[in-house]
Amino acid sequence: MSWEVPTMKSKISFFNAGLFKSTLRRFWPLWIIHFAGWLLFLPVLTLMNNLGPNKSTNFIFAICESAVFASSVVAFIMAILAAMAVFSFMYSSRSTGLIASLPVRRKAIFGSAWLGGVFAVLASNLVIALLTFLFSLDATINTALAFKAAFTWLGVYSMQFILFYGIASLTAVMTGSIAVLPILYIIFNFLVVGMEAIIRLDFSCLIWGMSNDSFDCVLDFLSPLVYMLENFTPVLKYNTPYAYDTYGLALQTSECISFTFNYWLPSAIYCVVGLVFSAAALMIFRRRRMESAGDVVAVRCMHPVFKYGVTVCSALCGGLLLYTVLFALFESRSASVFIMILSMIIFAFIGYFGAKMLLEKSFHVFRGSWVGFIVVCCLCAVFTLCCDLDVCGIGAYVPKEGSIKSITVYQTGSVEDPAIIENYRQLHEKIVSYKDEYEHIVYSDDTESIMFEYKLKNGRTVSREYTLPMDDENVERYYELANTPNLLLERFSPSIPADEEHCSQAILYIGDNQIIDLTPAQAIDFYRNALLPDIKAGHKVISRTYDDIIATMYITFEQAIDNSRYYDSQDIVVEITTDCTECISWIKDNLGIDIEEDTQYYD
């Protein structure tokens, strides 16, 4: 007698209904909190507006615009919380043993858990968008625009969540510790922009001419949250123009009547990237050892990546921090290379063996191979020497003629005149040609710091700063350009009409303790018949030192905005030097004060 064993055809599937329902049921508090938060922010506030005494028919546009702006941060946080919940079975030996004993393929385990998190969030998003739209309906509101506002938020937030959820899923399968997961997730999201910032700071310490005053991030798109916060801003439409004063303060209240989101293509690309990361997480999960629960890095092939990644990041970040401390003690550029190499090696040692301790779960890691650490030390030395020698010519880089949109220098502000830009560019080239003479000069009271900040036509920013002797010919040329009549006329020509009607205040400071208030008529007379003639005559208005500044004039102009009670204001600050003969004569003739008697001006 023989027993016939029944056979079943194996069905390959990425979904298991039981696991999917279990994911939704087990972590319902997280889904409810997410739903309740958006419910209070969008539908409830919209309903309260419609039922309140001060109802605004366009409230939905303002609230959805705020929701779109905040969605990237919320998606970033919700993605890691969802991943920690649905993939929590990977971080306990007991739960991994249980899940491995189920007659379910790895694909279905991962797919059901992943879909559980996506479904819980996207389904709640859809309900929130529908309720927001329904609660905003009013007899006087444009239904199509209200629908567009609510569902713009739905599309933007959902795509952003899928991106960050994909990143969280990938980092989730990389580690066997739920405590390490959020750390890896944060590092993954900010690694590129953070390392670019650190490397730029290293450049500013080691490369002659590099400035750290401005930060033009080139690779910020590889850190999605940073890129979204900087760029993914809805375009708002107001019932009246939204005006600002010269200090960036709002001048009048305007009502938002619609908004448009113009970043659908990059959002869709990010969404696809999230799906690709999720697919990669599935491939890794299929080959992941289930018994690796508790390991910092659960995928063995990623051990070298983790070890050397931690080592390099530690060397760059910690090395820079220690360098700033040690360099402040010695303040010698000739020793800067040695100090940087030493600082980087110290923190490379900490990072390398610290990473080995985490991977091997042991403090006995110093008897193994030191080859990797020695290689990293050599790379640190090569990197530092290449920066100091400026092998790539970064510090000596001068933008080409015709590629510059505007230039900003300290004394003149932003300049767009092509002729003046070319004069500054040629001066920059001349300074670079004297690199051997200038590169060892340390800033002091007898030096001048000269900075060029270019806005290029391709949207990039290039900033360079050089320390030169105060009596150097290039410093003299720098101030000659700053005192160019056309440049000064532009600088001292406010957009508000310079007349008595718009002059609200004028104060003259002489010496250390003499303050004189001028009438609007006197201020305008000084502006037209003293300052402008001095500028047109080519007299020096901007000085290299405080020694030849003998007085300072402050004139404030104000103008109403659209016949409202709000005002815009602009200030003109004139430092009167001994060369400003017209200004000195005007003060003597109209105020009876000979300011040339006191030629010392306080800082």
H/E stretch holding 409: strand 404-409
Amino acid 445: pLDDT: 77
CB 600 within 8 A of CB 511: yes
Dist CA 447 CA 430 (whole Å)? 18
Q: Higher model confidence: residue 172 or residue 210?
A: 172
Amino acid 527: pLDDT: 93
Mean pLDDT along residues 429-441: 88
Please determine, for residue 227, whether its predicted confidence score (pLDDT) is greater than 50: yes
508-520 pLDDT, tens per residue? 988 777 889 999 9
What angle in degrees, to the nearest 10, is found between the helix axes of 106-136 and 59-86? 160
Amino acid 331: pLDDT: 62
Question: Looking at 42-46, 107-111, 291-295, 457-461, which range is the least confident one?
Answer: 291-295
Please determine, for residue 600, whether its predicted confidence score (pLDDT) is greater than 60: no
CB half-sphere exposure, 513, CA atoms < 13 A: 0
The neighbour count for residue 27, using CB atoms within 10 Å, is: 19
Amino acid 29: pLDDT: 95
What angle in degrees, to the nearest 10, is found between the helix axes of 224-231 and 181-206? 70
Q: Residue 482 — very low, low, confident or very high, per pLDDT cuts 50/70/90?
A: confident
Please determine, for residue 67, whether its predicted confidence score (pLDDT) is greater than 80: yes
Q: Residue 540 — very low, low, confident or very high, per pLDDT cuts 50/70/90?
A: confident
Mean pLDDT along residues 120-133: 95
Q: Residue 488 — very low, low, confident or very high, per pLDDT cuts 50/70/90?
A: confident
Amino acid 60: pLDDT: 84
Amino acid 208: pLDDT: 87
User: Strands 549-560 and 514-517: what pairing?
Assistant: unpaired
CB 595 within 8 A of CB 552: no
Q: Higher model confidence: residue 56 or residue 532?
A: 532
The DSSP annotation for 480-549 comes to HHHT-HHHHHHHT--SS--STTTEEEEEEEETTTEEEE--HHHHHHHIIIIIHHHHHTT---S-SSSTTE
Taking CA atoms, 264 is separated from 123, 270, 272, 380, 581, in Å, by 21, 10, 12, 42, 60
Mean pLDDT along residues 189-199: 91
Please determine, for residue 581, whether its predicted confidence score (pLDDT) is greater than 50: yes
Dist CA 481 CA 94 (whole Å)? 75
Please determine, for residue 465, whether its predicted confidence score (pLDDT) is greater than 70: yes
H/E stretch holding 453: strand 447-456
Average pLDDT, the chain: 85
18-55 pLDDT, tens per residue? 889 988 999 999 999 999 999 999 999 999 888 877 77
Please determine, for residue 111, whether its predicted confidence score (pLDDT) is greater than 50: yes
Please determine, for residue 4, whether its predicted confidence score (pLDDT) is greater than 70: no
Amino acid 6: pLDDT: 42
Please determine, for residue 293, whether its predicted confidence score (pLDDT) is greater than 50: yes
Q: Residue 598 — very low, low, confident or very high, per pLDDT cuts 50/70/90?
A: low
Please determine, for residue 259, whether its predicted confidence score (pLDDT) is greater than 80: no
Amino acid 429: pLDDT: 93
Dist CA 62 CA 80 (whole Å)? 28
Please determine, for residue 193, whether its predicted confidence score (pLDDT) is greater than 60: yes
Mean pLDDT along residues 97-111: 75
542-578 pLDDT, tens per residue? 887 777 888 889 999 988 776 555 677 888 888 888 8
pTM exceeding 0.75 = yes
Q: Residue 123 — very low, low, confident or very high, per pLDDT cuts 50/70/90?
A: very high
Amino acid 337: pLDDT: 87
Dist CA 152 CA 223 (whole Å)? 23
Question: Looking at 383-392, 405-414, 594-603, which range is the least confident one?
Answer: 594-603
Amino acid 355: pLDDT: 92
348-368 pLDDT, tens per residue? 999 999 999 988 888 888 887
Residue (of 491, 422, 480) closest to 450 by Cα position: 480
What angle in degrees, to the nearest 10, is found between the helix axes of 473-482 and 418-433? 170
- Taking the alpha carbons at both ends of the chain, their separation in whole angstroms is 110
Amino acid 101: pLDDT: 64
135 residue type, one letter: F
